[in-house]
Structure 1
Amino acid sequence: MLTRASSPSMPQHWRGPLAAFVLVVGLLLVLYRDTVVGMVSIWERSDTYAHGFLVVPIVLWLVWRQRHRVADLVPRPSLVAVLLMLGAVALWLAGDLVAVNAATQLAFTMLLVLAVPAVLGWQVAWALLFPLSFMFFAVPIGDFMMPMLMEWTADFTVVALRLSGIPVYREGQQFVIPSGHWSVVEACSGIRYLIASVTVGSLFAYLNYQSPRRRALFVLVSILVPLVANWLRAYIIVMLGHYSGNTLATGVDHLVYGWLFFGIVILIMFAIGAKWSEPSPDLEARPSLAPPGTAWRARPAVLAALCAVLVLPHGVIWALERAQNHAAPQLALQGLQDGWQSGAVPSPDWKPAFHNPSAELVQGAAKDGRQVGVYIGYYRGQGNDRKLVSSINQLVPTTNKDWSEVSAAGGTAPWAGTPVPVRTAELRASLVGDVKAARLLAWQVYWVNDRLIASDAMAKIHGAVSRLSGRGDDSAVVVIYTPTDGTGSARQTLESFVQANGALIQASLQQTRQR
């Protein structure tokens, strides 16, 4: 006699709903294939998100563990879930309009998860709450935390070195100790450790604890431990380099020591956590909650609405693409005002690192012995390979060995008489501590939808509004910079230039948009 656990047959009331769910997932994969391919390509090229390849198999295994509990539940399509999918579709559309991969990939995952209650019902979704939630670890999001994590790592390392009796001189993410020069770069941020720890820690907590309080506590520990471990790792590596005369922890072994230390810490964390594990619950099926015959009466209307929701954003994209200007833009900045004349660019070996603009302009200006540089990166026809706001677009990338960003802050500039929010940054050439190194004061602002904007988020929002209003996606970054000696005269130079020529820059951008 076959027991329930060994029976291979599928309950009759699950055959239709499961077939419909497979078709919906297939439709999702076809309609949003570019988003899926983008996610997979990030998993493939980035070690930080390589765990994404494991997420889907783990989710399928977690669902399989729950199969007996789910089998006797009655699928009930939910129109409410379909309405919630409208929100995910709106997020995907907004992200696609302004080429924000994180938004489109998050929205796709939301659609995939919401397809469960939409087709199978909320009871099924609740029974699979953790597997569905775990799907979000497949979304490669986290790079936005990198600057903050780098700052924390640098802060801790410098404080720890000083407490150890080692003098430290710091500028930005670089610091000098008597034995040498160190930099906190992306690899030192600990983002890989953090994401790996939280992903595995969440799964460990779900499988080993039944109490929500214990699960939440262990997840919190899996967040805090990699942060502190990364700080200690950075400090230990600097100390190894310092006391070994920079023969240890300065090359490939730098990474080896880091991962070895992290692995030991995480193993200890899991070993301690296992001591408080709780028995697994009985995963056998529970009684049916409703007669199978009444389960799927509403399916045609719900499925039709679901398909319409999934197709909707693609129709909008198609219509907007037809209105997009695809001509190559031509930039020019002529007729400088108030005595400013075209001149040499200050520090010609530096240029903002904005990736793949449709057009670029680098121009110098001079007046009464003062120098100003103007950089404009113009973007049209934006997509994944060309976009104004991106984590790789920076004044100075950390891979630049000739220049570094010493400080950054927000501020305002008297742009043609009107206060405009700008990003301010001080840049330095050569190594930290070199008093003779060239320095620049730079102001950065985005031009989007005929507005001057400093915020990345607001630039994205106005970019989406511009496209939805049929104005295309033309936008630009404007960086104005001048040599600085720290006396305040550099700010006065920039104020004088934008007061006189800010309107000219905007007019030039508007003319470029119309061509």
Structure 2
Amino acid sequence: MRGISVAARHEYSWVLLPLLAMVFMYFGIVGGMVDDWINDENYSHGFMIPGIAAFFLWRSRNELAACPSAPSYWGLLPLLLGGTMYLAGTVVQEYFLMRSSLIVILTGTIWLLLGFRMLRLMALPVGYLIFMVPLPYTVYNSMAFPLKLFVTRVSVYLLKLTGLPVMREGNVIIFPNITLEVVEACSGMRSLVSLVAMGVAYAFIALKHPWQRVLLVLGTVPIAVASNVLRVYGTGVLSRYYGAAAAEGFFHEFAGIAVFLVALAGLILFGTLLNVVGRRIHAK
């Protein structure tokens, strides 16, 4: 396809039109997404995502400044795809489609106005924005339910190893003095979603080689699950001796924060280990 003329490259008024169109299209959608960040604890990390993406963009500022813009009409293809996603999501009221279409349209806009080389430099910050979009509830629940059962099963196994009298029925932990239900908030999905987002950011900030980054991101899953098993196990032990108060109120909220910090520390420790191994491998 033929590129856009040189004169048009320097015509800022031409760039303003699609940006205004994006603001008009997505003002309400982004507002609804922010509302989810505020009211749904599963996605409270969403506030950090644009800032981290902006940091990635700032980190590439020298490469971006040195890269010549080469606008291309190929950018119309992702714009068409994003527009289709937007319309389909609007018709069927599927929020994930509508919200994620913003990233596709942003990709097409960059490609159209600045060119593919510039898009490649912006791929990380633009792609990272997907972590600010809440998952569809059907997808979230289909992942949370088996994870909840797995966490319950492993926690009960550890409680039995400790010597405590305990039984399990589905996602319910039964002690002689108390019955605990492992609800979705304790399934580990909340920490998993946030930890994957943090893991991707940490991988691209602290690690150099693709294999290290892939292993770190994959490692967020067992780290998140293990930390949540620790939470349920600890709550079970305390509930056995101190009753329902150990599974409710302040302790329950504090345990959630503490376990996420433990998972984050585990992620950093794993990243440090990958760095050490990477230096030894590539030093040979």
Aligned to 1:32, what secondary structure does the other structure show? helix
2:125 pairs, out of 120, 128, 131, with: 131
Cα shift readout 1:27-83 (whole Å, capped 9, x = no counterpart): 112023222222121112122212222222222222122121112222222333312
Q: 1:209 & 1:174 partners in 2: Cα distance? A: 41
Cα shift readout 1:139-177 (whole Å, capped 9, x = no counterpart): 112642322322222222233333444444444432322
Change (3 A) 1:65 1:149: same
Q: 1:115 & 1:152 partners in 2: Cα distance? A: 43
1:31 pairs, out of 25, 28, 35, with: 25
Aligned to 2:10, what secondary structure does the other structure show? helix
User: Which amino acid in structure 2 is aligned with residue 96 of structure 1?
Assistant: T
Cα offset for 1:93? 2.0
- Residue 86 of structure 2 is matched in structure 1 by 92
Alignment of 1:346-365 (within 5 A): none
Structure 1: gaps (5+ residues): 1-11, 280-515
1:155 pairs, out of 153, 156, 168, with: 153
TM-score, L = length of structure 2: 0.83
- Residue 195 of structure 1 is matched in structure 2 by 193
User: Which amino acid in structure 2 is aligned with residue 250 of structure 1?
Assistant: E
Contact 1:142/1:191, CA 8 A, preserved across alignment: no
Aligned to 2:24, what secondary structure does the other structure show? helix
Q: Are 2:108 and 1:110 aligned?
A: no
Alignment of 1:47-446 (within 5 A): 47-141=41-135, 143=137, 144=140, 145-274=143-272, 276=275
Cα offset for 1:253? 0.5
Contact 1:14/1:71, CA 8 A, preserved across alignment: no
User: Which amino acid in structure 2 is aligned with residue 113 of structure 1?
Assistant: T
Cα offset for 1:226? 0.8
User: Which amino acid in structure 1 is aligned with residue 260 of structure 2?
Assistant: F
Structure 2: gaps (5+ residues): 1-5, 280-284
Contact 2:177/2:243, CA 8 A, preserved across alignment: yes
Could you tell me the percent identity over the aligned residues? 28
**CA RMSD, 1 decimal:** 2.7
Aligned to 2:246, what secondary structure does the other structure show? coil
Cα offset for 1:194? 1.0
Contact 1:194/1:223, CA 8 A, preserved across alignment: yes
User: Which amino acid in structure 1 is aligned with residue 25 of structure 2?
Assistant: L
Contact 2:38/2:44, CA 8 A, preserved across alignment: yes
User: Which amino acid in structure 1 is aligned with residue 68 of structure 2?
Assistant: V
Contact 2:223/2:266, CA 8 A, preserved across alignment: no
Change (3 A) 1:14 1:125: farther
Cα shift readout 1:391-430 (whole Å, capped 9, x = no counterpart): xxxxxxxxxxxxxxxxxxxxxxxxxxxxxxxxxxxxxxxx
Cα offset for 1:22? 5.0
Aligned to 1:182, what secondary structure does the other structure show? strand
Q: 2:152 & 2:130 partners in 1: Cα distance? A: 30
Change (3 A) 1:18 1:197: farther
- Paired positions, count: 268
Greater share of strand residues, 1 or 2? 1
Contact 1:77/1:119, CA 8 A, preserved across alignment: yes
Q: 1:229 & 1:174 partners in 2: Cα distance? A: 19
Cα offset for 1:136? 1.0
Q: 1:62 & 1:17 partners in 2: Cα distance? A: 27
Change (3 A) 1:22 1:193: farther
232-241 or 145-154, larger mean C-alpha shift? 145-154
Q: 1:55 & 1:23 partners in 2: Cα distance? A: 26
Cα offset for 1:213? 0.6
